[in-house]
């Protein structure tokens, strides 16, 4: 039995010896397995990484391709969705200003033609409603200017008015065409030095008739005369010279201000 036990023990010992060996082998296999098991995840991560990284790229590329393909369609859509109140609103504003200007000038033209005092007359330049030639037919008959007009057989003082796109909210550009005047707040090129003709002094309530009456009064007040000096009478006023002179006087008066005449001067 001892022999039997011994072989059993030997077998057990052998089995016990073989057990640890197998355990070590299993441990090594587990280690190897553990080392081998992370590899697939790493491979999966690598594979997954390669799979995950391309996913946003195709998404961005698709967006870029879609934007490029629909590039011509995106601005109108964004304009209508985000800027619909601004971009589409601009043309109606311009159209509205054009309509206001046209209606105002048509009304003023009709009102002037109804005048009975023969103070001014209006002619459209090339049938253009926005450019007028205005004849000033009368000034103060007690003035030296009126005497000059009689002596030189000058029936009227001719002026040119150009109405901007935003009239009546901005003043017309007004200049003298003929005859050549001196003093009377008429400057080089026929430019007119009047505050109400500047953006700061203008009011949309002013009518062409009112402006012309104010101009006639300024001519007399400023002792305007028809120029009779040799050489100057033949030299006509030019628009380019008038515009340059007017811009200069506006800058000067914006810097130093305007002199307000006393109430007694009218």
**Catalytic annotation, pick one of 193, 194, 212, 250:** 193
User: With 0-12 CB in 10 A as exposed, 13-18 as middle and 19+ as buried, what is 69?
Assistant: exposed
Instruction: Specify the residue for token string 């030189």.
Output: 152
In the Cβ-directed half-sphere of 22, how many Cα atoms lie within 13 Å? 6
Query: Is 193 part of the annotated catalytic residue set?
Result: yes
Q: How far is CA 160 from CA 7, 94, 136, 176, in A?
A: 137, 25, 11, 6
Nearest of 193, 57, 186, 211 to residue 122 by alpha carbon: 211
CB-based burial of residue 187 (10 Å sphere; 0-12 exposed, 13-18 middle, 19+ buried)?
buried
Q: Looking at the annotation, which residues are catalytic?
A: 193
């Amino acid at each position: 039995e001892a022999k039997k036990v011994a072989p059993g023990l030997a077998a057990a010992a052998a089995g016990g010896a073989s057990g640890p060996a197998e355990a070590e082998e299993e441990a090594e296999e587990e280690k190897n397995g553990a080392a081998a098991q992370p590899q697939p995840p790493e491979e999966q991560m690598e594979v997954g990484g390669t799979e995950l990284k391309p996913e946003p790229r195709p998404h961005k590329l698709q967006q870029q391709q879609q934007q490029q393909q629909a590039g011509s369609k995106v601005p109108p859509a964004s304009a209508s969705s985000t800027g619909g109140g601004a971009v589409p609103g601009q043309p109606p504003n311009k159209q509205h200003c054009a309509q206001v200007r046209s209606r105002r000038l048509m009304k003023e033209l009709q009102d002037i033609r109804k005048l009975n005092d023969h103070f001014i007359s209006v002619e459209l330049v090339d049938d253009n409603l926005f450019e007028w030639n205005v004849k000033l037919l009368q000034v103060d008959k007690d003035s030296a200017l009126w005497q000059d007009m009689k002596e030189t057989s000058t029936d009227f003082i001719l002026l040119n008015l150009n109405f901007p796109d935003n009239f009546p909210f901005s003043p017309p550009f007004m200049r003298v065409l003929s005859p050549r005047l001196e003093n009377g707040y008429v400057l080089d090129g026929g430019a007119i030095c009047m505050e109400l003709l500047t953006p700061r002094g203008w009011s949309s309530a002013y009518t062409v008739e009112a402006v012309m009456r104010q101009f006639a009064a300024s001519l007399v007040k400023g002792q305007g005369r028809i120029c009779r000096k040799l050489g100057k009478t033949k030299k006509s006023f030019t628009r380019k010279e008038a515009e340059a002179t007017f811009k200069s006087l506006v800058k000067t008066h914006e810097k130093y201000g305007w002199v307000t005449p006393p109430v007694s001067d009218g």
